[in-house]
């Protein structure tokens, strides 16, 4: 049996930041994952993730995003790895504007640079976008996109260089009430290969696999569904749709957003449609006509010069969310040595540094007082049909 002070299960963005920061605090840390960090089935994979501080009135998330952006930039300089593309984020408002107004309030409250632009200003600044029907826009110029897979690999490299240990291992769900769990502590985890790993405390950061590890607790709190992302080829010799001239964009009121072509990967469009429930291990990563049709409708509406653009890459991934779109971070009610972090609800990659800080501090002292109340298990709804 291998023994460590801390074991982190899951090498996605939340597990990686937590493991790295625990190790940098001087603790003995073992990181376990069923595959390698940045693997294609993880929610933390793909090419990029949006980072922004406007959060529709969720102030602590806005604060987290601002602090995380600072940390991402500092680590980028420290590691010499390009991670953050500051191409800006643009909210385009056509109908209901309450969310955009709350984002504006967020940016004002935390002193983040921003600009409120009328339709004529938008059309002049971004002529490659068809602004018909858009009333105004909110631009956060220092926001943008993170290189997701590259960030995971950089974090993993830093963790190993700091003396952290990693094993590829599939951790089995704990069997409640047997063996070492009788006294209210987990004490050890067992893998599908029959190995056991013992620790003082455990952090389960398993992304879409988390409900399967603790089904009684999380199956009705976290839903795992499939999503599709498309990368369209931009016209040759045309830089209008690259990060040098185009921000990350979101059309409020329409279930579509995207990222400009970064490092030549193509113009990313994400049709934000409800997907079917999936098993992230067995999900075949094949796209569907329904999602592609919506992506092309979005291009035709807002980016007419890309209406016939070829699809050059696709991604099929999973999306784990809670009913109220809050992430989960809390102690396991049945195990005094187990902490859970997950249910990212599509917005936690950017917050990785702050989540890691919080998780590392909580594991180190075993106290939960610093966790925001909305993330606690007793605040997360149990959806009847969720």
- How many domains does the chain divide into? 1
Helix (H) or strand (E) run with residue 296 in it = helix 289-302
Residue 367 located in a structural domain: yes
> Can you give the pLDDT at residue 253?
84
> Can you give the pLDDT at residue 183?
74
* Opening angle at CA 373, ends 337 and 214, nearest 5: 40
> Can you give the pLDDT at residue 2?
66
The answer to whether 6 and 199 have CB atoms below 8 angstroms apart is yes
Residue 348 located in a structural domain: yes
Residue 336 located in a structural domain: yes
Neighbours of 166 (CB within 10 A): 18
Tokens 């339709």 belong to residue: 119
Residue 274 located in a structural domain: no
CA–CA gap between residue 148 and residue 191 (Å, rounded): 28
Residue 179 located in a structural domain: yes
Which domain CATH number covers 12? 3.50.50.60
Residue 360 located in a structural domain: yes
369: CB partners within 8 A, 6+ apart: none
Residue 331 located in a structural domain: yes
**Domain carrying residue 327:** 1-52+144-222+322-386
> Can you give the pLDDT at residue 178?
45
State the pTM of this model: 0.95
Q: Per-block average pLDDT, block size 10, for the chain (386 residues)?
A: 87 98 98 95 92 93 97 98 98 92 96 97 98 96 97 98 98 71 85 96 97 94 94 98 97 91 97 90 94 96 97 94 92 95 90 96 82 90 69
Residue 231 located in a structural domain: no
CA–CA gap between residue 50 and residue 148 (Å, rounded): 9
- First-to-last C-alpha distance (Å) of the chain: 38
> Can you give the pLDDT at residue 32?
98
* Helix, strand, coil percentages for the chain (3-state, nearest 5): 30, 25, 45
How far is CA 181 from each of CA 206, 216, 336, 372, 376, rounded to the nearest angstrom?
20, 16, 10, 28, 23
The answer to whether 342 and 222 have CB atoms below 8 angstroms apart is yes
Q: Strand (E) positions, the chain?
A: 2-9, 29-33, 48-51, 84-85, 89-93, 115-118, 136-140, 144-147, 165-168, 188-190, 196-204, 223-232, 248-252, 256-259, 267-271, 311-321, 328-331, 338-342
> Can you give the pLDDT at residue 370?
75
CA–CA gap between residue 13 and residue 350 (Å, rounded): 9
């Amino acid at each position: 049996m291998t023994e460590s002070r801390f074991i982190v299960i899951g090498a996605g963005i939340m597990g990686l930041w937590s493991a790295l920061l625990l190790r940098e605090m001087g603790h003995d840390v073992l990181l376990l994952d069923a595959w390698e960090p940045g693997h294609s089935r993880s929610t933390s994979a793909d090419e990029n993730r949006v980072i922004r501080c406007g959060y529709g009135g969720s102030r602590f998330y806005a604060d987290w995003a601002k602090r995380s952006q600072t940390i991402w930039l500092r680590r980028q300089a420290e590691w010499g790895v390009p991670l953050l593309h500051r191409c800006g984020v643009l909210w385009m408002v056509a109908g209901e504007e309450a969310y955009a107004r709350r984002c504006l309030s967020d940016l004002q409250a935390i002193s983040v640079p921003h600009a409120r632009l009328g339709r004529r200003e938008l059309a002049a600044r971004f002529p490659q976008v068809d602004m018909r029907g858009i009333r105004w826009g909110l631009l956060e110029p220092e926001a943008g996109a993170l290189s997701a897979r590259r960030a995971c690999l950089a974090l993993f490299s830093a963790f190993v260089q700091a003396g952290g240990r990693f094993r590829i291992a599939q951790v089995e769900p704990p069997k409640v009430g047997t063996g070492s769990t009788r006294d209210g502590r987990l004490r050890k985890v067992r893998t599908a290969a029959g190995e056991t790993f013992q620790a003082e405390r455990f952090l389960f950061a398993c992304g879409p696999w988390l409900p399967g590890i603790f089904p009684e607790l999380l199956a009705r709190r976290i839903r795992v569904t499939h999503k599709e992302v498309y990368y369209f080829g931009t016209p040759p010799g045309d830089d209008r749709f690259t990060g040098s001239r185009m921000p990350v964009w979101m059309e409020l009121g329409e279930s579509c957003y995207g990222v400009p072509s970064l490092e030549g990967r193509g113009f990313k469009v994400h049709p934000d449609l409800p997907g079917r429930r999936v098993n992230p291990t067995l999900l075949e990563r094949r796209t569907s006509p329904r999602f592609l049709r919506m992506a092309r409708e979005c291009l035709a509406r807002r980016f007419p010069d890309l209406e016939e653009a070829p699809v050059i890459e696709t991604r099929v991934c999973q999306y784990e969310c809670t009913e109220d779109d809050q992430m989960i971070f809390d102690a396991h009610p049945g195990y005094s040595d187990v902490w859970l972090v997950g249910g990212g609800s599509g917005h936690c990659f950017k917050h990785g540094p702050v989540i890691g800080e919080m998780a590392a501090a909580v594991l180190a002292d075993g106290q939960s007082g610093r966790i925001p109340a909305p993330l606690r298990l007793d605040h997360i709804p149990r959806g009847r049909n969720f």
